Amino acid sequence: MEVPTEPKTTQIDEISHNLSFSTSNAGDSSWDKISFFRHRSRQIKRDTWLVSVFVLLQIVLFAVTMGVNDCSRNSHGHCAAKLLGRFSFQPLSENPMLGPSASTLEHMGGLSWNTLTENHEIWRILTSPWLHSGLFHLFINLGSLIFVGIYMEQQFGPLRIAVIYLLSGIMGSLFAVLFVRNISSISSGAAFFGLIGAMLSALAKNWNLYTGKISALVIIFTIFTVNFLIGFLPFIDNFANIGGFISGFLLGFVLLFKPQLRQMPPSHKGKLFEDDMNRSTRLKDQFDRPVLRIICLVVFCGMLAGVLLAVCWGVNLNRHCHWCRYVDCVPTKRWSCSDMTTSCEAMVSDAQLTLTCMANGKFRIFPYTNISQARTQDLCTLVCT
């Protein structure tokens, strides 16, 4: 009896399939490059605890700032969102960002010329990067931080991103001191702009390793533009954003020297894959040369030393550049970009406070009298503006 035999094509077909799979992928240059903004399913799975800590810390600090502001008591109920009680916002005429008063920002660690030069409160350089001018500023800043920070932390790890974020915030504050005025300002965008600069340097340094470079540049430019335009609003320092961006761009070349490559297929699938992996490794090593990192590190240290010396000597670049204030402020009917020291004549009568600006003669009547000297100065600035 003849026993039927199975056709021995299974093993041959499998070998043929593996060979065709290896050949097709070996000729595909996509194994040499990775997408700058990867699809979520292809991203390296890492915990983003660092960005989460930064976001949570800034939310808590904003809540504390609004609690200290206590608009319902210090402004006698003349607040926006009164239902929030102690955490209600200053009127939009005083702070269009839905946030605290100028005196509260200064009390919490904002930058101003008087506090830095007369009181020598240098610690404000460390506190200013963590403050926000209002709820709108908080949402936009943290939303951008989550988008950029999570990507950067997943690609390069938390340690290097933390160094870039913190140093950019400090450098941005120091840079802002060179242009700081009597108006209280904050530099919370400096640290975030440092991450944008680092992202741009990572793209530029490893240009040949990435695909979708034009779309990545468009995204980076859009995020930069939106956050920079916000810097023209009151209390937000655009010079800090510029300093943070330059700092992050330099530190990106120094620290982000090992980009995560797309996972290559296992080596058991054929020697052609091993050749692709070796070629990608050689391309990666080409961009890990230390010369560029050393140059950028020297430039960053030189810039840091120069800014520190200028701050210690009390250099105020506004005296030499009259148009520089427009980089940080756009004058409108609601606020002025002038750096005049406001002074008002106060008159109390019938439970009313009348403030008359000594500079232009404008006056305004407030239906309360029991306010602090800091709040009186806030209202005087509002009247004079």
**Under DSSP, is residue 332 helix (H, G, I), strand (E, B) or coil?**
coil
Burial of 319: CB neighbours in 10 Å, binned 0-12, 13-18, 19+: exposed
The predicted pLDDT at position 56 comes to 93
Q: Tell me what the mean pLDDT of segment 218-247 comes to.
A: 89
CB within 8 Å of 239: residues ≥ 6 apart: 172, 175, 176, 178, 179, 324, 327, 328
What's the whole-number average pLDDT of the chain?
76
Which of the four pLDDT bands, split at 50, 70 and 90, describes residue 197? very high
Distance between CA atoms of 180 and 338, rounded to whole angstroms?
A: 12
Which of the four pLDDT bands, split at 50, 70 and 90, describes residue 267? very low
CA atoms within 13 A on the CB side of 242: 14
Which of the four pLDDT bands, split at 50, 70 and 90, describes residue 138? very high
| Per-residue pLDDT reduced to its tens digit, 164-186 | 999 999 999 998 888 877 778 88
Q: Which amino acid is at 26?
A: A
pTM: 0.76
- Residue 21: count other Cβ atoms within 10 Å of its Cβ: 15
Q: Are 329 and 232 in contact (CB under 8 A)?
A: yes
The predicted pLDDT at position 36 comes to 59
| Per-residue pLDDT reduced to its tens digit, 61-77 | 999 999 998 888 887 77
- Assess whether pLDDT exceeds 60 at residue 288: no
| Per-residue pLDDT reduced to its tens digit, 13-24 | 443 444 333 333
For residue 7, give both structure tokens.
């056709």
CA distances to 130, 195, 246 from 215, in Å: 31, 18, 22
